[in-house]
A and B are shown apart, each in its own frame.
Chain A
């Protein structure tokens, strides 16, 4: 029979009625698997546990969030687990860090990327501090860079792997200033700090909450911060731009993603949970204690952010000489 506009309207109304309540009605019925790529005690693990604790305390979820550590390959194991083994699972989400976006760019063993996952929310941006030993002869970043220009390769920085943020910032600064200084990789944060405090390297780039106590105790001095604007706790410390180095900011990003193949209703549900969580006083305190910046973004925005961020990082990594494979 002929389709008349009234038929279409009725059909649309029925569809909306049918889909509406059902779409809003996802509720988890068993514990949610909260995946992280670090081992117990590592960055992703700590934030996952903090989140789980806050959600639990504020009764934001009818079920438990169970942290699952899937370590290996610098995040690749966890990513592969999310995309392949948890496909379509409504009860699995994961904490992503900046690593999840950049690691696949340089590792040909990576079989999945973050674009294969469903973005949920972005939570925090983490700035960094450039620190020297408290009794170091360098008082400003400019002095360090000048010393490096005068003696190429003799100034030393301790840090993580070549694709870590420490090295990315170093490469950007070196390119900007024409200076050249050595980068000494240590596998663990503890060793990097020990190298600095022992006077074996001249500086390091460190996350504020790792450095906090050492600064308070007077063992470390902050000479610059890697941030767009000054952190309140470090109001006297210039940002990179203020210190005279016009380089792009490289924040460490953390947020939540979910496996592919889940319905929009599920995405909305988790978006809401986290939207509520970031308003709680416990979360605000967590941000303040750890010097995180609130970078809350919902799913659609996050998807766009991923595209931009991956593009930017690809260019930066190429500039640093890393072998970019995708």
Chain B
């Protein structure tokens, strides 16, 4: 039977009332989890696993998958409204999303996020359905040199996130790299920068840094002002409560960009939704007609990363379902769930369990539709949160930050780290150091160092391995191009000025 036939069968499975119910429960839970910072889909799926033993595996995986991609929808909510990343991948959404909210366009931002997520989620499922096996083989050809090149490309994006001072952006990124290096070195078991604390052996959790630097930094900045009035204008009128047609038109490319970048990066085990959203944002900005507006609140700046982190879920399912290799932390738990249910994901899984695979794929379509229907009407509701005066909102943000951080590992040490990063975030604001490069350095630093060392181990010290293969060579070349682009622009500006003065 061809794919289409299987898909129809899959819909037959997914659209039964029983499975529809579980799909709804999953996506609803996922959205809630996504909204709350710190609590992630991985932990939630783990908590719910015992309950799934009573269910049949197809319904169970429909629900758990719903939690996974549902959480990506929810993550953007607090990012946009409060500058609190609900999920690590939602950090990039904060850049423009929060700025849109500050301009009174919170509703539009939330709407764009939801729509981008829907488009990307759907593209992800289509990709999963159509190109899973060949894409999985492509993913296998990706090795450490390619990962290094990918990370280098990601880091080159710092140039695009720089703002006024390139030096400060670079310094910020270096601090991020330093924080990323904290912990046990994988290759030599040396403990780096742990200051003697066993809690730092695994490094600092990204969530703590992101919440501290972004959310708390913002709150402390706002606390300087005396008035307890509303911090953000509540969007008035439909124009600001929902994205306009113009917004949607502007985002056409961003939807596509986010979907593709997210999906492809999701397929690669070891590269996650955070890097996908950064690269997608970078590409969007680099190819935009008005790059200087990014960071001030442009809808594309929300659409691209939000799309990317949603499409990534579809992508991450590819290696899981076609090869039995988990592509991310959450898919690792799904893998464990499969095993606990007695299934064995692997190259033969699609053949041996067509009902499960196609039922899951079909349910992902359905789930994305459900999420769009769930989230769009909720947008005006969420926007009302902004009605709260500052003195009510800020305690809430502090509280949710503490709870979010604590829920990651149940350790009070982490809450102390949160206070430190909050202070750092405030200092960075006052001294005009951009926070985005720090996050970029933090996310990529570790992986990049690992990939470089692995590559050199494979080639026994021969650096040429990094450019020996077409993929890595191309990405490195692009990275260099991007890094040099500000110099090129400056050179051009100087040339133009010289011409003008000369004539």
User: In A158-205, which residues have CB < 8 Å from any B CB?
Assistant: 161-163, 182-191, 193-195, 197-201
Tell me whether chain B's interface is mostly helix, strand or loop, or mixed.
helix
Cβ contact within 8 Å between A40 and B344: no
Expressed in whole angstroms, the Cα–Cα distance for A49 and B339 within the complex equals 11
Contact between chains at B198 and A194 (CB < 8 Å): no
B201 near A185 with CB under 8 A, answer no
Q: Could you tell me the distance in whole angstroms from the C-beta of A284 to the nearest C-beta in chain B?
A: 15
Known: A154-B460, A194-B139. A163 touches B335 (CB 8 A): no
Query: Which of B172-180, B325-333, B436-444 participates in binding chain A?
Result: B325-333
User: Which stretch of A74-82, A236-244, A262-270 is in the interface?
Assistant: A74-82
Q: Is A147 an interface residue (CB 8 A)?
A: no
| Chain B positions 316 through 349: 1 when the CB is less than 8 Å from some CB of chain A, otherwise 0 | 0001000111110100111111011010111111
**Which chain B residue has the least Cβ–Cβ distance from A289?**
B342
A112 CB, nearest partner CB in chain B, Å: 10
A195 to B53 Cα, complex, angstroms: 33
Contacts of A217 in B (CB 8 A): 346-348
Whether A41 contacts B50 in the complex (CB less than 8 A), given A184-B454, A194-B325, A198-B141, comes out as: no
Partner of A185, one of B187, B329, B349, B410: B187
Contact A194 B319 (CB under 8 A): yes
Nearest-CB distance from A69 to chain B (Å)?
Answer: 7
Q: Is the CB of A185 within 8 A of B340?
A: no
Interface residues on B, range: 35 or more
Instruction: Tell whether A182 pairs with B460 under 8 Å between CB atoms, given A73-B201, A163-B189.
Output: yes
Pairwise interchain contact A197-B189, C-beta atoms closer than 8 A: no
Hey, which chain B residues are within 8 Å of A46, CB to CB?
336, 339-340
A106 at the interface (CB under 8 A from B): yes
B269's partner among A106, A183, A194 (CB-CB below 8 A) is A194
Q: Which residues of B contact A209 (CB under 8 A)?
A: 339
In whole angstroms, how far apart are the Cα atoms of A216 and B323 in the complex? Answer: 12
Complexed CA–CA distance, A156 and B42 (Å): 33
A153 sits at the interface (CB 8 A): yes
The answer to whether B191 touches A191 (Cβ under 8 A) is no
Given A53-B53, A80-B198, A219-B347: A72 in contact with B409 (beta carbons within 8 A): yes
Q: How far is the CA of A71 from the CA of B330 in the complex (A)?
A: 15
Q: List which A37-71 residues lie within 8 A (CB) of chain B.
A: 39-42, 45-46, 49-50, 52-53, 69-71
Q: How far is the CA of A199 from the CA of B141 in the complex (A)?
A: 8
Which partner residue on chain A sits nearest B203 by CB separation?
Answer: A72
Q: Which of B46, B198, B344, B458 contacts A69 (CB 8 A)?
A: B46
B residues 428-475 near A (Cβ < 8 Å) are 450, 454, 457-458, 460
B290-309, CB < 8 A from A: none
Q: Is the CB–CB distance between A110 and B269 below 8 Å? A: no
What residues of chain B lie closer than 8 Å to A183, measured between beta carbons? 457
B340 close to A190 (CB less than 8 A): no
Q: Which of A73, A156, A197 contacts B458 (CB 8 A)?
A: A156
Which B-chain residue is minimally distant from A108 (CB atoms)? B191
Q: Which of A49, A80, A109, A184 lies in contact with B191, CB distance below 8 A?
A: A109
- Whether the Cβ atoms of B332 and A188 lie closer than 8 Å is yes
Inter-chain contacts of A230 with B (CB < 8 A): none
Complex partner residue of B194 from A109, A156, A185, A194, CB under 8 angstroms: A109
Contact A74 B184 (CB under 8 A): yes
| 8 Å CB interface, A247-286 against B | none
| Interface residue total, chain A, C-beta cutoff 8 A | 57
Note all chain B residues with C-beta closer than 8 A to A199. 140
Q: How far is the CA of A50 from the CA of B341 in the complex (A)?
A: 10
Residue A214 CB within 8 A of the other chain: yes
Pair A41/B333 contact, Cβ less than 8 Å? yes
A40 x B326 contact (CB < 8 A) = no
Q: Please tell me if the beta carbons of A40 and B43 are within 8 angstroms of each other in the complex.
A: yes
Chain A contacts of B218 at CB under 8 A? none
Residues of B within 8 A of A49 (CB): 49-50, 340
Q: Is B143 in contact with A40, judged by CB distance below 8 angstroms?
A: no
**Residue contact B201 to A213, C-beta cutoff 8 Å:** no
By the criterion CB–CB under 8 Å, are B198 and A77 in contact?
A: yes
Residue of A nearest to B325 (CB): A190
Task: Decide: A185 near B409, CB < 8 A? Known: A45-B336, A197-B140, A219-B347.
Answer: no
A153 vs B45: C-alpha distance when bound (angstroms): 42
The distance from the CB of A125 to the nearest CB of chain B, in whole angstroms, is: 19
For B319, list chain A residues within 8 Å (CB): 190, 194
Interface assignment of B186: CB less than 8 Å from any CB of chain A: yes
Q: List 30 A-B residue pairs with CB atoms under 8 Å apart, sorted by A's residue number.
A: A39-B329, A40-B42, A40-B46, A40-B336, A45-B46, A49-B50, A53-B340, A72-B198, A72-B202, A109-B191, A109-B196, A110-B198, A154-B460, A156-B457, A162-B189, A185-B186, A185-B187, A188-B270, A188-B326, A190-B269, A190-B325, A198-B142, A200-B144, A212-B346, A213-B348, A214-B323, A214-B346, A216-B346, A219-B347, A289-B342
Chain B contacts to A: CB under 8 angstroms: 42-43, 45-47, 49-50, 53, 139-144, 184, 186-189, 191, 194, 196-199, 201-202, 269-270, 319, 323-327, 329, 332-337, 339-340, 342, 344-349, 409-411, 450, 454, 457-458, 460
- Seen from chain A, the residues whose Cβ lies within 8 Å of a Cβ on chain B are 39-42, 45-46, 49-50, 52-53, 69-74, 76-77, 80, 106-107, 109-111, 153-154, 156, 161-163, 182-191, 193-195, 197-201, 209, 212-214, 216-217, 219, 289, 322
